[in-house]
Amino acid sequence: MDADALRRTRDEIIRLAGGGLSWVNFATRVGEVVRRAIPFDRNCWHTVDPGTVLFTGSLNKDVGCSGSWLAEHEYVIDDVNRWWFLAHSGRHAGATSLATHGDMSRSARHRSHVAYGIGDELRGSFVADGTYWAAVGFLRDADRPWFAEDDVRFLAALSEPIAHGFRRTLVTSAVSPETAAGTDAHAGAAIEPGAEAQTGAVAEIDVVSARDGPGVIVFDEAGKGVSISPAAERWIAQLVEEPPPESPLESKMVQAVAARARTLTSDGDPLEVGARSRVRTRSGSWLLLYGTRLSGSADGQIVVIVQPASPSEVAPLVALAYGLTERERQVTRLCIQGRSTKQIARALHMSPYTVQDHLKAIFEKTGVGTRGELVGQVFLEHYVPRWNSLTDVPAGWSGWAAPDITRPIDGL
């Protein structure tokens, strides 16, 4: 691995991460930088909810796939180098040719797209401070050389700075239709029949608000979308998918939630939080997507609900995006409740001086100078005044219940 090339690439990515780009433009620029060191022909990028590792955004360049194909191969079918596995295994990168020991036909994912002239794939999962934020797939055409071990190590070494960049985009910028259209997201080869990607400008987005109510999408026992409400179609039009899906039923975000709901059991997910994702729209607002099984006459069917996300659902994700530690999140929560420094110190069993140190770090990370700015400019739209934690919820989520205001809070 070329150490000088790696250093230059890291430095350029760090510079891009601080540039206030939307995640779509950040991904596009990072792809251009990485291509100088690791040539590839096509690429796809996905943001994820760090709590449930479900897709929250999609950008495909010169390659297309349907939402159902993507969800099936990431969350249902057992295969090499699934992104969530790379993230949790600590490897962070892998090539199909290497994972299959040179026999790529052993990969179900490769078998499904080899007919479209696609050869080896180099995948990367972007993790910072133990939190998984996004993923990429770099693909080479079938007549090109396979990726090498050095390529895998190179991409793995970039995991953290790229993750930091994606994390920052979550709280610094939205993706407007104009921005998305300017990325030149287009497709050449599709990776399954009927999944040809679209070209051209992004279609005009329908105006939708909380007044529209929740949207509903129903899937049959095989995972095929069978019906969708008008509100769901309008919500889905606001999701960041480039190119947009041929049908709202093929939204990658919705399909990911549906696939996860099909694989979960009530014993393994009693709080039903595994099939949920918090998704930031083009306008910067937040949606909650969650899936569940139906019973009775509709046994085997899955329903996915799309609705505006509540502050308590988004708050832990925003705190992670700002890079707050667990202790800093606890201090922030009590600060927003109006607790004094002494009250926070008693609740968290620390000295007032330690509380002040945490507040200083919080102010630096969120870019504010006072408690008032912290509440008014950063977390007012994300945090509820009080929430009590429940156990057994994924990282980056907060189980919550009505608080007992007669009892002092002594931790999370």
Q: What residue ranges do the domains of the chain occupy?
A: 3-190, 210-309, 310-412
3-state secondary structure (DSSP) of residue 221: coil
Q: Which amino acid is at 380?
A: L
| Closest among 276, 347, 348 to 312, alpha carbons compared | 276
200 C-beta neighbours (distance < 10 Å), count: 8
| 12 burial level (CB within 10 Å; 0-12, 13-18, 19+) | middle
Per-residue pLDDT of the chain (412 residues; tens, 9 = 90+): 689 999 999 999 999 998 889 999 999 999 999 999 999 999 999 999 998 999 999 999 999 899 999 999 999 999 999 999 999 999 999 999 999 999 999 999 999 998 899 999 999 999 998 999 999 999 999 999 999 999 999 999 999 999 999 999 987 755 554 444 444 433 334 444 333 333 222 333 334 455 568 999 999 988 899 999 999 999 999 999 999 999 999 999 999 999 999 988 766 565 567 899 999 998 888 899 999 988 765 678 999 999 998 877 887 888 888 888 889 988 988 887 889 999 999 999 999 999 999 999 999 988 888 888 887 766 655 433 333 344 455 555 544 333 332 333 333 2
Domains 3-190 and 210-309 share a fold: yes
What pLDDT sits at residue 278? 94
What tokens were used for 7?
A: 């250093």
Q: Which amino acid is at 248?
A: P
11 C-beta neighbours (distance < 10 Å), count: 12
Task: Select the CATH number that applies to the domain covering 210-309 from these four: 1.20.120, 3.30.720, 3.40.50, 3.30.450.
Answer: 3.30.450
CATH superfamily of 3-190: GAF domain (3.30.450.40)
Beta strands per DSSP E along 274-394? 276-280, 286-293, 302-308
116 C-beta neighbours (distance < 10 Å), count: 18
What pLDDT sits at residue 279? 94
DSSP-assigned letter for residue 395? T
What tokens were used for 2?
A: 């070329």
Beta strands per DSSP E along 129-231? 131-141, 189-190, 215-219, 225-228
Are the CB atoms for 22 and 41 separated by under 8 Å? no
Q: How far apart, in Å, do the first and last CA atoms of the chain sit?
A: 44
Are the CB atoms for 291 and 261 separated by under 8 Å? yes
DSSP-assigned letter for residue 210? G
Contacts for 72 with CB less than 8 Å, ≥ 6 apart: 223, 259
